Structure 1
Amino acid sequence: MELLDNIGETLGGIWDTATAGGESWLNSWFDNEAEKVASAAPEENRKPQHQEPAQQPTGQPIYTMAPTNTALMLMGGGFVALAVVLLLRGK
């Protein structure tokens, strides 16, 4: 009987140690993941684009042309082509 009691106490101690170690490992893992999520906030880690212009791999800034409205240009070209066709057809 004494042997079974000793084995039971030993196994119980091993189990308690394993569960306590597992619990502390799990808590530290959750804390680490929470820190990763908190530090991934883009508003805190990135500069707004208007303060940091686009750059080439050499570090030189990229100068862009004035923005154009592509749809408006396509419609204007279509109207010009239509007018040319109508004028040529009338002759």
Structure 2
Amino acid sequence: MSLLDSVGETLGGIWDTASDGGEAWLNSWFDNEAEKVASAAPEENRTPQHKEPAQQPTGQPIYTSGVSNTALMLMGGGVAALALVLLLRGK
């Protein structure tokens, strides 16, 4: 009978150790998830929009310069039209 008692005690000890370890792991996992949820407040983690550059739908920032390609083309076309008018007027 002592053999069964010792095996039972051993298995019981193993079970208690495993269940305590699993419970500790589960509690730490729940605490970690709760911290993730608590720190996910959008108003605290997002930068204000007036500090962010404009973005394309892919998330790449759009950098604006002083003169765009369209403005350069319009200026060039205006200069070319003015030159054409001045050349035709001279004849």
TM-score class, shorter-chain normalisation, is: 0.5 to 0.7
1:72-83 correspondence runs (5 A): none
Counterpart residue number, 2:37: 37
1:1-91 correspondence runs (5 A): 1-55=1-55, 57=60, 60-61=63-64
The alpha carbon displacement at 1:43 in A equals 0.7
TM-score, normalised to structure 1, is 0.59
Contact 2:55/2:62 (CA < 8 Å) preserved in 1? yes
Is the strand fraction higher in 1 or 2? 2
Identity %: 77
Structure 2, unaligned runs of 5 or more: 66-91
Distance in 2, matches of 1:50 and 1:44, equals 15
TM-score, normalised to structure 2, is 0.59
The alpha carbon displacement at 1:50 in A equals 2.6
Moved over 6 A (4+): none
Distance in 1, matches of 2:63 and 2:18, equals 57
Count of aligned pairs: 62
The alpha carbon displacement at 1:52 in A equals 2.2
The alpha carbon displacement at 1:53 in A equals 3.6
